[in-house]
Amino acid sequence: MNSHRRHFLQHGVACSAPVLAPALFSAAHAQAVRKLSVLVGFPAGGAPDTVARAIGEGLRELGYSPIVDNKAGAGGRLATDALLAGPADGSTILLVPGGNLTIYPHVYTKLRYKLADFAPLASACEFEFALAVGPTIPATTLAEFITWAKANPSKAQFGSPGAGTAMHFIGVQLGQLARFDFQHIPYRGGAPALTDVIGGALPALTTTLPNVLSAHKSGKVRILAHSGAKRSAVVPDVPTFREAGFPALTLAESFIWVAPARTPPEVQRELGAALAAAVLKPKVRAVLEAADYDLLSLTPDALSARLATEHRQWADIVKATGYKSED
């Protein structure tokens, strides 16, 4: 991420929302949702968990008592199913990668939800993806890794936070574009996949760029490329996939907050305003920006439009890869 991008992105943002947020909470409803269950479909220590807990601290400053509930498994689907199975009264919300709502409907034939089942409340942040390798892999560039993978087809494996995720498809597309068999190993989140790469049990992983920054800087893994349009100011030594000859892998995703679509509109508005205000808290911004997240502010309507567009785009990408879910 470049330094000039270190600002609160305003794509369709209602700029007054964060300022007016506290005034939007009725006393009765604020009391009812003061204890807020925050569902995260990935393990503690991973990227979604880090973002949820950071923004949760901002919510505390607004009078909420958020409790993060990590329902890891099935690439985040367990938490999504839990949200829809619970009450639609604003007491439970979900932080989710946008792709879980826009990619999964094209991947899983037995998926229990569709995009229309959710009410987008607020966006949180935007991020890129990265391909990283462990210390046992003798490659310092993406080209060297591809050469190694072709010479060692039985070892050419990569992990991701889950099957059917954007990170999964980045690996699949890389293998197709570079013409080598890149075997996918799905994990229950990015954190355990990273642990196996560091330990040498897994050659490589595709995950969010923030998820591997610390390990890269400490020399535990090497990031070979990331999916951003430009180099990141946090890791300026790492080229983009575009620079490495794979412009089709230029991609960003966002973490977003959703509630069940049947949640009363006034509750959606109040929660959305609180979440928009929470991410602006100085301590929250500091945590997210230090991890190379771009803070992203979209109104619920703008967020809905973005999700609808991405839903259509991913239909074409999934079809092009030929991926078939085993459900």
Enter the tokens of residue 45.
């220590």
**pLDDT tens sequence across 21-37:** 444 444 445 444 489 99
312-319 mean pLDDT:
92
For residues 210 and 228, give the distance between their C-alpha atoms in angstroms, rounded to a whole number: 12
For residues 39 and 114, give the distance between their C-alpha atoms in angstroms, rounded to a whole number: 18
**pLDDT tens sequence across 114-128:** 999 999 999 999 999
Burial state string for 145-178 with b = 16 or more CB within 10 A and e = fewer than 16 = bbebbeeeeeebbbbbbbbbbbbbbbbbbbbeeb
φ, ψ (nearest 5 deg) of residue 71: -100, 75
Question: Looking at residue 12, what is its pLDDT?
Answer: 43
Question: Looking at residue 84, what is its pLDDT?
Answer: 98
170-198 mean pLDDT:
95
Q: Say if residue 247's pLDDT is above 80.
A: yes
Residue ranges and CATH numbers for the domains of the chain are: 3-126+253-321 (3.40.190.150), 128-249 (3.40.190.10)
For residues 33 and 112, give the distance between their C-alpha atoms in angstroms, rounded to a whole number: 26
For residues 109 and 199, give the distance between their C-alpha atoms in angstroms, rounded to a whole number: 35
User: Average model confidence (pLDDT) for the chain?
Assistant: 90
Question: Looking at residue 327, what is its pLDDT?
Answer: 66
Tell me the percentage of the chain whose pLDDT exceeds 90. 80
90-111 mean pLDDT:
95
Asked whether 84 and 113 are in contact (CB, 8 A), the reply is yes
Q: Say if residue 253's pLDDT is above 60.
A: yes
Dihedral angle sign, alpha carbons of residues 261, 98, 315, 163: negative
Among the ranges given (15-29, 256-270, 287-301), the one the predictor scored with the smallest mean pLDDT: 15-29
